[in-house]
Amino acid sequence: MMVPKTRFTDTSLIAALTMMLGLIRWKSLALTWATLFALHGALETRASSAAKPNVVMILTDDQAPWAFAEAVRSGQFDDVPIPSTPNMDRLAAEGAVFRNFFCTTPVCSPARATLMTGRYASEFGITDFIPQPGHKLYDPDAPIYLDPNTTVTFAEVLQRQGYRTGLVGKWHLGDWMAPEDRDKHPTQHGFDSFMGLTGGGTSPDNPELELDGKVQTFEGLTTDILTDHAIEFVEHNADRPFFLCLSTRAPHGRWLPVAPEDWEPYDTMDPTIPEYPGLDSQRIRKMMKEYLASTTGVDRNLGRLLRTLDDRGLSSNTIVIFTSDHGFNMGHNGIWHKGNGIWATKQKPPGEMNQGTRVISDKYRPNLYDHSLRVPAIVRWPGVVKPSAVIEHTASHLDWFPTLCAVAGDASATEGLMGRDLTPLLKGESPPNWEQELYTEYDMIRYTTASLRGYRTPRYKLVRDRHNEGRDEFYDLQSDPGEHHNLIREPEAQPAIQELDAKLRKMEAKVQARK
């Protein structure tokens, strides 16, 4: 194990001053004192910077909250198998697990825009995933991207507070490959360095990735390769405050190949899957095993990164955040995928199995189901977070920005944001005015069209489709956490529907006014 570097103390500095004064001649005293005071100031600055905790965020892609063994063992999910995630479990044992953490839009690009900025992605015109060059829906004449001239990411805040910042993996907030588009590069959004995907996806092995500004093909498993470079970033910046975002491609499909040790836990498994009328059970069982094997590959590499922090003596002064961009369905409510869910039934469309609402696509089921919105969220923060803490309060990706601003000691960038600093919850406090309600949205413009607006409380959820009449939904989450019974037309539900509708319209107008 590497021994941490020794730092000067005030006592050792005074001793050094005394020794030097005994060696110098009086005629150079003024110069020497000036030099020594400059040295003292530099040491104080370094000590101040070193006191800031490092931050490592592992941001996975398409990871359901049930693709995490501790959450399944807790009893929160009973229709999925227990995955092999010993390193996520380790983080949970050493830190805090959120049971009700959500994205605000359940597809990649808008979810990531919200996470990075603390604002709803629709404020920037990012409402669905951004196609990359080569995708059949890519339109070079109508680019969509996170504009560095009008937005601030938490990476920028950390950067200006003296952190060395690095992004390894997926960005998916705009194409920068054309020479005239280089201002959209992640390094224009607060990252000192970037290595990773040039678009929203790549293959699970032998990927094309950007390194040092050049796109090249790498040999091996993509998750392993990205983690190699994340570890390299940590090792190169171990002597100063750093922020690393390892944004994995997995467990986004395609899931195979994986390493043999990642497949082994599932080789002979007959996985538990959700029940749904007409579900293609054989296909879902096969997909479940592949999906979880991909997740185990992420977990194995998480272990490599945690061991690097241990070996470098950095763990005690490093905040580790583990989360995903959005959730995932694997047969739940008859679909697989996320907010742009794909029917997993043998016949398409399944007609009235669509929760009593009108079917708009024989393939896609746009949705704001909890399985699409809820994400895993674990925070290990030595000295602040008690081991094995469980947080039941509602929180969302809106909250990472103000939380990391608080870590950096810069609250100025949080003015006007809807998110909240999570530190009180992480300290085990229960703020009496903590809002437990959540507004969500998704305008599906790729493949089919829907305009979903959702308002969720711990008891109820209301979803309005502004584009498709007859597709509104209302669920009692207390009696129906799986959202199987749409009560939108039930007379006894109307008072609660009207109450949530008023709150939904108020939030919808508030977000619209910020565009």
What is the reported pLDDT for 356?
56
The answer to whether 92 and 299 are in contact (CB under 8 A) is no
Query: Based on the domain organization, do 233 and 288 belong to the same domain?
Result: yes
Q: List the single range of 162-176, 308-322, 347-361, 481-495 with lowest mean pLDDT.
A: 347-361
Q: Residue-wise over 99-119: b if at least 16 C-beta within 10 A, else e? A: bbbbbbbbbbbbbbbbbbbbb
Dihedrals phi, psi of 399, to nearest 5 degrees: -90, -15
Query: Based on the domain organization, do 257 and 124 belong to the same domain?
Result: yes
Q: What are the tokens at 500?
A: 């949530």
Residue 212 has pLDDT above 80, yes or no: yes
25: confidence class by pLDDT, cuts 50, 70, 90: very low
What is the reported pLDDT for 357?
63
Return d(Cα 49, Cα 273) in angstroms, integer: 49
Cα 168 to chain centroid, rounded: 13
Query: Based on the domain organization, do 292 and 399 belong to the same domain?
Result: yes
What is the reported pLDDT for 18?
43
- What average pLDDT is seen over the chain? 89
| 471 CB neighbour count, 10 Å cutoff | 23
Which domain covers residue 427, as residue numbers?
54-436
What is the reported pLDDT for 46?
39
Q: List the single range of 141-145, 318-322, 416-420 with lowest mean pLDDT.
A: 141-145
275: confidence class by pLDDT, cuts 50, 70, 90: very high
Helix locations, 118-248, DSSP H: 154-160, 222-236
Query: Based on the domain organization, do 338 and 487 belong to the same domain?
Result: no
Domain boundary among 406, 436, 466: 436
Query: Based on the domain organization, do 486 and 392 belong to the same domain?
Result: no
What is the reported pLDDT for 478?
97
Q: What are the tokens at 319?
A: 């905040």
Residue 101 has pLDDT above 60, yes or no: yes
The answer to whether 219 and 206 are in contact (CB under 8 A) is yes
> Is residue 35 included in any domain, yes or no?
no
Domain boundary among 379, 404, 436: 436
351: confidence class by pLDDT, cuts 50, 70, 90: low
> Is residue 17 included in any domain, yes or no?
no
CATH code, 351: 3.40.720.10
* Residue with more model confidence, 32 or 478: 478
- Nearest residue to 70 (alpha-carbon basis) of 45, 96, 40, 52: 96
Q: What are the tokens at 184?
A: 């959209």
183: confidence class by pLDDT, cuts 50, 70, 90: confident
Query: Based on the domain organization, do 182 and 309 belong to the same domain?
Result: yes
Return d(Cα 49, Cα 148) in angstroms, integer: 27
> Is residue 299 included in any domain, yes or no?
yes
What is the reported pLDDT for 136?
80
Return d(Cα 280, Cα 226) in angstroms, integer: 34
Q: What is the mean pLDDT of residues 125-141?
A: 85
Query: Based on the domain organization, do 284 and 206 belong to the same domain?
Result: yes
Residue 330 has pLDDT above 70, yes or no: yes
Q: What are the tokens at 404?
A: 């990391």
Query: Based on the domain organization, do 339 and 286 belong to the same domain?
Result: yes
What is the reported pLDDT for 352?
54
Domain boundary among 387, 421, 436: 436
Residue 276 has pLDDT above 70, yes or no: yes
CATH code, 492: 3.30.1120
Return d(Cα 510, Cα 260) in angstroms, integer: 50
Q: What is the mean pLDDT of residues 42-48?
A: 38
What is the reported pLDDT for 115?
98
Q: Residue-wise over 356-383: b if at least 16 C-beta within 10 A, else e? A: ebebbbeebbbbbbbbbbbbbbbbbbee
Residue 423 has pLDDT above 90, yes or no: yes
Helix locations, 237-280, DSSP H: 260-263
* Residue with more model confidence, 13 or 226: 226
What is the reported pLDDT for 403?
98
347: confidence class by pLDDT, cuts 50, 70, 90: confident
Return d(Cα 189, Cα 50) in angstroms, integer: 24
The answer to whether 479 and 466 are in contact (CB under 8 A) is no
Query: Based on the domain organization, do 344 and 418 belong to the same domain?
Result: yes
Task: Judge if pTM exceeds 0.95.
Answer: no
Query: Based on the domain organization, do 398 and 456 belong to the same domain?
Result: no
Return d(Cα 309, Cα 153) in angstroms, integer: 25
Query: Based on the domain organization, do 252 and 392 belong to the same domain?
Result: yes
Residue 45 has pLDDT above 90, yes or no: no
> Is residue 298 included in any domain, yes or no?
yes
> How many structural domains does the chain have?
2
Dihedrals phi, psi of 172, to nearest 5 degrees: 60, 35
| 326 CB neighbour count, 10 Å cutoff | 28
Query: Based on the domain organization, do 138 and 275 belong to the same domain?
Result: yes
